[in-house]
Structure formats: C-alpha cells, structure tokens
Structure 1
C-alpha cells in the first residue's frame, strides 16, 4: 500500500494506492460525517462499509449521455431528501464519469461539502479522481459546466481492476500513455502499483503548481483537444481514453506540421501508443474535418484562438492562436 499526498497547503489530501485499500475508506472521511451519499453505477461492486455512518446510495446512468445537469438535479433532490448537511460527505464510487459527477454534486450542494473518491477504473486512478476537476457535459461540448472541488481523499484499490472490461483498461492506458511524454519515464518498466502511483505523483505535482489551470496544469490535457472533438463527433462511440490515444498522435502530427518536433519524435509517439500500449492511432472513418475544427474552437482552453498542448525539444507546452491551415493539414493526414 502506498500513501501519496496532493500538496495543496491546508487542503492537501491523501491518495491511497494498493490492493484491498477500500478498507481504509473510514480514515479519509471527515470526523463530523454522520451521513454519506454514495454516488455509483449499476455493476460496480458494493464495497462500502462505514460503521456509525448512515449510507444512502444513488445509482446514476451509464455513459456520457448521463453526464448531464439533469443527473446533478436528481442528486440534489436526493441529498435534500436524506438531509445531507455540510458536516456530512459525498462518496463517489466508480470510474471517471462517476467521480466527475459526484465531485460536482458535492461542490454544488450547500455551496460545497466534502467528497471522497473510490476510483474503480484505471482511467479514474491515474487521472479523473485526482486534482479536483469536476463537471458535466452540454450538447455543445464536453465538461463545459463544472467546478474545481478537491476531494478530502482518494482510494485507488487495484482489486477493482481485476474485473475491469478490456475496453475500460484501454481507456486508462490511453491516459497513462500521456505521462510518457510529460516526463519521459519508462512506466512500462514498473509493476502496476508503482506505475499507477507514479502517474498520480506526476499529476499531483502539476496540480500543486497550478490548481485552477491558469498555466502549467494545461499540459495534462496533452492530446485532449482533438480527443474531445472526436468523442463528440462520434457520438461518444469512442471512449475517452481511446480518443486520447488518437489525440496524442494528432498532437504529434500537428507539432511536426508546425516545425516543433521532427519525424523521429512523431514515430516515438506511435511506438508508445500503438507499439507499447497497443492502442488505436487512427480515427474511425467518415468524420468531417469542418465539424472537428468547429468542436476544437469550442474547447475550454481556446481563449485566444485555436489552442493546443504540443510537444517541443524542451517539453510539452501550451500553444495558442494556432492557424487553421496546419491544423487541417495534420487532420488530413490522420483522417486518411
């Protein structure tokens, strides 16, 4: 078992990684909690036991179509019915979608109550459950409504991964591949617990330096601008991690188009994504370049024109006001 810290001064919290660590849940709850609202989904193992705490469980829908303000409104009504107070706690048990929704519900209820995440997916463990980003989708874009609300603690119990469907594991691997390009670490040389812990350490360090994504934290979105557009354009037939894997290749192609990296570095991206992680590198056929471009213009990072996180000889960084011509050229190569 490993206990890591996300260092945010008086709001620092622990992330516990290992097998069987769900037994540590009670140690992460606020001492005042008399009630717990557990937000989860059908099919996720019920491992929650909290002696002395009254538990009410809320089952939310599956898939991105359930990641909406309607779901938040339903949870708010449920919280009111159970009498949830600021002294109590919300517990998100599930993958990244569940912790995004549980976190936003906690941030909104009574203008903010504690939330603890029990992450049950690889994607959630290495990314979604860590760092305090919460939110839901609109038809116009992904995660456009939300809040920064740090959890009081996070559990990453690797036992949950033993029964995770292969596609869900691939989603986590898509996000994990991203960390190769942020640090150059050889993550595949590590065992699973060490690898998950290292990804958390990388994200915690970045979050601590820029909690609200005013600058450096945006590098965690490497590959995500194109990925989010792909998710929406395919009606979420591509899962998030699958889209991120393709988005990493697109970011490399765009970086090459802009003269930021050479062809050898582009091939390194393909070697990691396709070779080492055995993930998709090509979008599905039939996508419209104009639609993808419009969706990327609506990305949350696009404050001054098209904005991407791109590689360079001195590391990954945010690039603003990117012209449409190279964006289209890189897209053309990938869509072919």
Structure 2
C-alpha cells in the first residue's frame, strides 16, 4: 500500500494480486455505484459489481482508448447518472486503462459539482501513471486533455491479477514510465530492472510488484507537493519532473499518427533527452548510456527515423511546458536531479537526435 499525502484529500493506493477484494471496504455510504468501463472489459465490470454488496450498480460502457474521452461520451455518462438517480453521496468507479480512469474521474468531478470516485486501472501504464495524481479530463477536436479538473480518487486499487492477460508489448510500454521514475528519483528502480530483467517483465513476480510500488511512490511524492503543477522557485521543478522524456515522446506519438504505444514513444524521448542532458547539463555519460541499455533490454525502441527531426522539432513547440516561442525541456543533471532546460541550443538538440537516430 502506498499513501498519497495530498494536501486536499489524502488517499491510499493498494497494490497486490487480488487487491480488488478491497473494493467493498472503500464504498462508504454510497447507495449507488456507477462503473465506467470500456466495452471490451464489460465482463470485468460484472466482477467488480460483485464486490459492491448491497449497492445498486450501474454499468456504463464507453468506447475503448481515446474515443472514450469526448464531450459526447461525457454527456452520455451524465445522462446515465441522472437516469439512475445518482446523488452527492453516490460513487463512480473508473475501470480500465488511463483513458477510462481519466474519463471516470472527470465524470465524478463534474457531476453535482463533484462526487467521489475510485480508480481501478487494468494496465501497467494506468497503475503507475494515469490513476495517481488527480488529473482528469477529456479531449476536444482541437487537442488532448483541454477540458478537465484536478479531482483525486477516494482510493486506487491496483490488482496485479488484472494484468495477467496483457500482451508483453503492453507490459513493456508501461514499464517505460516505471524506468522514468528511476531516472528522475528512485535509483532502486534502475537497480531492480538491471538485476532481474525477467522479473521486471513478469507481472506475477515479486520484482514486478516492487517496481510498480516504487513508481507509484515516486509519483505520489511528487503530486503530494505539487498537485496542480505550480512549481516553486527553490530549484524543485515539482510535477514537471514527471514529464521527463515526454516532450519528444509526445511529438513522436503525433508524428507517427499514434501508431506507437505511449511508452514506446516515451522510451525514445528519454534516450534523446539523456543525450541532450549529457551535452548541456554534464550528465554522466554512463548514466546517459544506461537509458538506451535498460530500455532496450525491456524490448522498447531506443532509436527513431533519421529523417523525422524537422517534423518532430515543429511538434515540440506545441508542448504544454513551452512558454510563447521558447522551448522548455525537462532534462537530467544527475540521477534523481531533473531540471528545466530553457531555450536550449538548437544545434545541440539536432545533434542529439542524430546520435539517437544512428547518424551521429
């Protein structure tokens, strides 16, 4: 169990095989429970309903992946809550990957100006990233996550048994965010992956459970201090640290038409920013090399199309960390020391990409 000591509403993250058994004790006084779930996981929603004794359970099925995060789907969820007579004392459960928990959280945040919700992620990425931190929202035609709210869950339940059927590529993709937490904070994560690669990729292993717990603890510590990304002036970059590798990663996702999984794109993004950090921040060369070594060992991509640089560079200007025309990157000065790079030298960025693409 990992505590999230939020200044607004502290909560717990339960991480274990069979953790779904803890759901009933977390329902409080709710008379009604709405389970928001992607259509492919509808059968799992029935299993969740069995852990809600004495409650009236409404299952709201939504499209899979990003197609769930639209105003039309949000409005349909509101309509179903209204039809079921949901009140301020009732509860929403988000069941699925990060898109499902994002949507469910925003449904809860917006219904009657805010009702409680419980997050039950069913992917590695959902467990270590989307389900913790209070960010909820939907997409618009003009961009991702443009409408949303910070609304923290009552509890997060990470039942590792729910990961047993995930494809190996999906597990590895989620582990990219775990390894990120090792570079920006907890060196023990890097040591675990290095010493037990097989265990890191085995969702039934003790090593895997420890990696998830450590990654959740890193994010919990960051968001407890900086829920809404209001960074301090003392050198602590707060929640922005969690965006390590994401400026390039998001650009790659967009450039490739989202054909790459999120973690695959972030893996390449981390390898690139590590090389940038070696050049501009003096990051130790061995630690920079560890990025491609560890991520590659997990089966993640660590290089990219050498012809893509100019398109990627244009897309990076759309990053949410940018200020006006100035590019801001999360770099790494040393293990556990993420820093902001303001308007970095363009030639160094391009040369770093050349190294990553195999041309440097």
Provide the rounded CA distance (Å) in 1 between the counterparts of 2:68 and 2:314. 24
After TM superposition, give the deviation of residue 158 of structure 1 in Å: 0.6
After TM superposition, give the deviation of residue 52 of structure 1 in Å: 1.5
Provide the rounded CA distance (Å) in 1 between the counterparts of 2:6 and 2:259. 36
After TM superposition, give the deviation of residue 152 of structure 1 in Å: 0.6
The change in CA–CA distance for 1:290 and 1:105 in structure 2 (over 3 A counts) is farther
Query: Which residue of structure 1 aligns with residue 209 of structure 2?
Result: 193
Q: Deviations over 1:129-165 (max 9, x none)?
A: 1111122334444333322111110000010111112
Which residues of 2 match residues 294-309 of structure 1 at below 5 A? 294-303=314-323, 305-309=326-330
Q: Deviations over 1:4-42 (max 9, x none)?
A: 21012451011111111101112222x231111111113
Where 2:92 maps in the other structure, the secondary structure is: strand
Where 1:312 maps in the other structure, the secondary structure is: strand
Does structure 2 retain, via aligned residues, the 8 Å contact 1:180–1:187?
no
Which of 294, 301, 305 does residue 280 from structure 1 map onto? Answer: 301
Does structure 2 retain, via aligned residues, the 8 Å contact 1:233–1:287?
no
The change in CA–CA distance for 1:333 and 1:14 in structure 2 (over 3 A counts) is same
Query: Which residue of structure 2 aligns with residue 217 of structure 1?
Result: 239
Where 1:316 maps in the other structure, the secondary structure is: strand
Q: Deviations over 1:184-226 (max 9, x none)?
A: 1123356222221111111111111111112211111111111
Matched, 1:184 2:187: yes
Provide the rounded CA distance (Å) in 1 between the counterparts of 2:321 and 2:66. 21
Which of 81, 101, 105 does residue 103 from structure 1 map onto? Answer: 105
Does structure 2 retain, via aligned residues, the 8 Å contact 1:257–1:329?
no
Provide the rounded CA distance (Å) in 2 between the counterparts of 1:19 and 1:307. 40
Which of 117, 120, 127 does residue 119 from structure 2 map onto? Answer: 117
Where 1:249 maps in the other structure, the secondary structure is: helix
Query: Which residue of structure 1 aligns with residue 133 of structure 2?
Result: 131
Which of 278, 300, 303 does residue 256 from structure 1 map onto? Answer: 278
Query: Which residue of structure 1 aligns with residue 73 of structure 2?
Result: 71
Alignment RMSD, CA only? 2.1
Provide the rounded CA distance (Å) in 2 between the counterparts of 1:218 and 1:97. 21
After TM superposition, give the deviation of residue 126 of structure 1 in Å: 1.3
Normalising to structure 1: TM-score of the pair? 0.91
Question: How many equivalent pairs are there?
Answer: 331
The change in CA–CA distance for 1:89 and 1:177 in structure 2 (over 3 A counts) is same
After TM superposition, give the deviation of residue 97 of structure 1 in Å: 1.4
Query: Which residue of structure 2 aligns with residue 153 of structure 1?
Result: 155
After TM superposition, give the deviation of residue 259 of structure 1 in Å: 4.2
After TM superposition, give the deviation of residue 324 of structure 1 in Å: 3.6
Query: Which residue of structure 1 aligns with residue 171 of structure 2?
Result: 169
Normalising to structure 2: TM-score of the pair? 0.85
Query: Which residue of structure 2 aligns with residue 33 of structure 1?
Result: 30
After TM superposition, give the deviation of residue 335 of structure 1 in Å: 4.1
Query: Which residue of structure 1 aligns with residue 334 of structure 2?
Result: 313
- 5+ residue gaps in structure 2? 196-205, 232-237
Provide the rounded CA distance (Å) in 1 between the counterparts of 2:111 and 2:330. 33
The change in CA–CA distance for 1:10 and 1:138 in structure 2 (over 3 A counts) is closer
After TM superposition, give the deviation of residue 286 of structure 1 in Å: 8.1
Which of 15, 19, 22 does residue 21 from structure 1 map onto? Answer: 19
Does structure 2 retain, via aligned residues, the 8 Å contact 1:253–1:330?
yes
After TM superposition, give the deviation of residue 167 of structure 1 in Å: 2.4
Query: Which residue of structure 1 aligns with residue 200 of structure 2?
Result: none
Where 2:23 maps in the other structure, the secondary structure is: helix
Provide the rounded CA distance (Å) in 2 between the counterparts of 1:243 and 1:142. 17
